[in-house]
Amino acid sequence: MELWDIYNAHGERTGRTVSREAWSPASGEYHLAASAIIVNSAGEILCSHRAPEKRHRPDMWEVCVGSAQAGEDSLRAIRRELREELGLDIPPEDLTFFYRAWDGDCIRDTFLCRRELDPASLILQPEETDCAAWFPFASWERMARAGEILIPATPDDEAFYAALREEIRMR
């Protein structure tokens, strides 16, 4: 059973913990999720493909994302998700906090990471991910805005895209 800490509208833990299955948010309650956008030197973004047996949003591309478990902050949560889903053990100093978005009942913290890697070398978690690939930023953005790639912000979050575009251009 996965347990989540409950957060208030200021992004602070309330002291309440609920099971994921029992989550029924009251107004002003949130749970925490974390994402990692991995970018290579060509400005491409690494995405994994959600396995067809996933209960929520199967057969979709996504950046690595997952809910924080009780007691985890977003950095610890995304490091766990990267290990579990992609077999990547990324040191905390290689993950830079990038963006926080509020989406419905979820606080979404996003981290950036620069890596050169072959997607075929990843150790994918069965029933979670079935492949991974690099997407050129322009293609990734078009697909994300169309809802074809799950991202850590809403498809119309202009500030998110502008900040990411600038970050990729700067390197």
The residue to which tokens 């992004």 are assigned: 11
Number of domains into which the chain is organized: 1
Residue 9 resides in a domain: no
pLDDT-based confidence at residue 170 (cuts at 50, 70, 90): low
CATH of the domain at 121: 3.90.79.10
- pLDDT tens digits, 2-52: 999 999 999 999 999 999 988 888 888 999 999 999 999 999 999 999 999
71 domain-assigned: yes
Q: Report whether pLDDT(55) > 90.
A: no
Specify the pTM.
0.94
Is 79 part of a structural domain of the chain? Answer: yes
Least confident interval from 81-85, 89-93, 116-120, 165-169 = 165-169
Is position 2 within any domain?
A: no
The helix/strand/coil state of 56 is coil
Looking only at the bridges linking them, the beta strands covering 44-50 and 129-136 are antiparallel
92 occurs within a structural domain: yes
22 lies in a domain? no
Confidence of residue 171 (pLDDT cuts 50, 70, 90): low
Structure tokens at 45: 């973004």
